[in-house]
Structure 1
């Protein structure tokens, strides 16, 4: 009798929740991806030591999230998303150690587009990285392509974000109310200064258009530190699809007076960020790539990235010019719709001021094999 009663109660509760779900037209989805690889890396330090280790993916970092929507009627929906990066090799939280370091937002969506508030990825990240970068955001920290040097400019706190898709036209814009762009060291940030409305803020705008096989995009993003020094990035990108092949071409230009780029690309922590401010560091970063769907399960991708820097910190209290060259090859094989194995090889070479990024033999080779599962 007791078991029957419990079963009836559970059935009644399930039916009630189902009815509520139908009437409200609401949904909550758990999603994520686990990606682990074994990676070998040469010249990891000034002594040219090598390293063999397990790492959180070589293509996309592991993450878990919740996203939901509630139908408010009249074509309007309330939406939310919570996402956290994780390190499956040891079970820890990723990046900053926040519970939801990737995304934590809420907003409204309709025919006009989507307007959200909270901690969010920028339009630069959403479109450039996932549409125009042939490798998405593979190995940014180790390959040190320019978007990684933006650091806090890829995911921002205290922000209002708008995205809209109108046929082939995509528009994205974001504004952050004091996003704490004031490094207190190599990777720490302090808060916005009261009374300085323009300091510590950021904004970004991006537009792209797709017509058949061709997609083009361009945008600008600017961050300010608490002294109102600026880091400004411009980019323009093209993707063209030919049968089973995608061709990529892009260009980025960055001008930095905040010290963020120097601090994030340096191999060793910067003890005093102040010495890197107002140096007018310039980076020009063209890139190109191709991906080929050889067969239903096999995808091959190759990409090259270049960064030419001027007025860059050399590590000896001087500024100089230099370059970084990066080439990456990636092979992905799908075992199912959710699971794939992959292998990747990447090579980096630096000269001039860029040697602070690879202080050993000024070059580095990485090899990784891994597996990922989406859910």
Structure 2
């Protein structure tokens, strides 16, 4: 519900890192879905998992989407709470347009996390938002963040279906982060290319190439959605893989 993977990239952090703004998964969730004439409304509540506190760790989200023969689009809003009633708010909007064998897509996400926002763990604290990004630590150490964190993320890409089973695509991603550590800002730039061949409806083989470049405070940011590169400003990866969708 919370994000749309128009590109069907493998689940690698270096190329699917925008999902961490929303949370890779939200445990203990209840969802209501209503659809009509191509439009779909979804409401979701993820229970925090902390006994005696209904709100701590809980996440609420709402999305509205439309799916047609050529155009698909959707918007989503989400709020997550931590144990101290600090918030992580996320807004997202995306669209896909299909012309024959070519699919073009775009996605925008704005994320804001309060200073000190801390996600749950598996050791008794709120559980529903364990896979989200925190905003407590900075490069200076634990519990040193004093500013809210804002990320503005853009993803544009294109997929070309050579045959119904074989596709090739490329995606460009950009994140502008403010409040990384005090008044510092940083940037993340990502290029991903993917060739994908479907053996069946559930199973495919793929080859991918990714290039990530960090600028400014993002080089040493412990809350980077793309992760850290050991103090380096860039990283290049390539993968061959086989996957089955359950």
Q: Into which bin does the TM-score normalised by the smaller protein fall? A: 0.7 to 0.9
Q: Per the alignment, in what secondary structure is the counterpart of residue 84 of structure 2?
A: coil
Please give the TM-score of this superposition, normalised by the length of structure 2.
0.80
The equivalent residue for 2:159 is 291
Root-mean-square deviation over aligned CA pairs: 2.7
The equivalent residue for 2:40 is 170
Alignment of 1:124 with 2:2, yes or no, is yes
Whether the aligned pair in 2 keeps the contact of 1:267 and 1:358 (CA below 8 Å) is no
The equivalent residue for 1:60 is none
Per-residue CA deviations over 1:25-61 (Å, capped at 9, x if unaligned) read xxxxxxxxxxxxxxxxxxxxxxxxxxxxxxxxxxxxx
Per-residue CA deviations over 1:301-339 (Å, capped at 9, x if unaligned) read 1111111000013xxxx5510100001000012345554
* Cα separation, 2, equivalents of 1:267 and 1:149: 17
* Cα separation, 2, equivalents of 1:267 and 1:347: 25
Q: Per the alignment, in what secondary structure is the counterpart of residue 20 of structure 2?
A: helix
Whether the aligned pair in 2 keeps the contact of 1:146 and 1:307 (CA below 8 Å) is no
Per-residue CA deviations over 1:321-362 (Å, capped at 9, x if unaligned) read 010000100001234555432211000000111102334430
The equivalent residue for 2:224 is none
The equivalent residue for 2:144 is 275
* Cα separation, 2, equivalents of 1:165 and 1:304: 32
Following TM superposition, by how much is the alpha carbon of 1:220 offset from its aligned partner in structure 2, in angstroms? 0.2
* Structural mapping, 1:292-371, within 5 Å: 292-313=160-181, 318-356=182-220, 357-371=228-242
Following TM superposition, by how much is the alpha carbon of 1:175 offset from its aligned partner in structure 2, in angstroms? 1.2
Aligned residues: 224
* Structural mapping, 1:104-253, within 5 Å: 123-125=1-3, 128-129=4-5, 133-136=6-9, 138-139=11-12, 141-143=13-15, 145-150=17-22, 153-179=23-49, 191=50, 194=52, 196-253=53-110
Q: Per the alignment, in what secondary structure is the counterpart of residue 179 of structure 2?
A: strand
* Cα separation, 1, equivalents of 2:157 and 2:229: 24
Please give the TM-score of this superposition, normalised by the length of structure 1.
0.54
Gaps of 5+ in 2: 120-131, 221-227
Per-residue CA deviations over 1:178-214 (Å, capped at 9, x if unaligned) read 24xxxxxxxxxxx46x3x5433221000000123311
Give the number of the structure whose alpha-carbon radius of gyration is greater: 1
Higher helix content, 1 or 2? 1
Following TM superposition, by how much is the alpha carbon of 1:159 offset from its aligned partner in structure 2, in angstroms? 2.6
Following TM superposition, by how much is the alpha carbon of 1:267 offset from its aligned partner in structure 2, in angstroms? 11
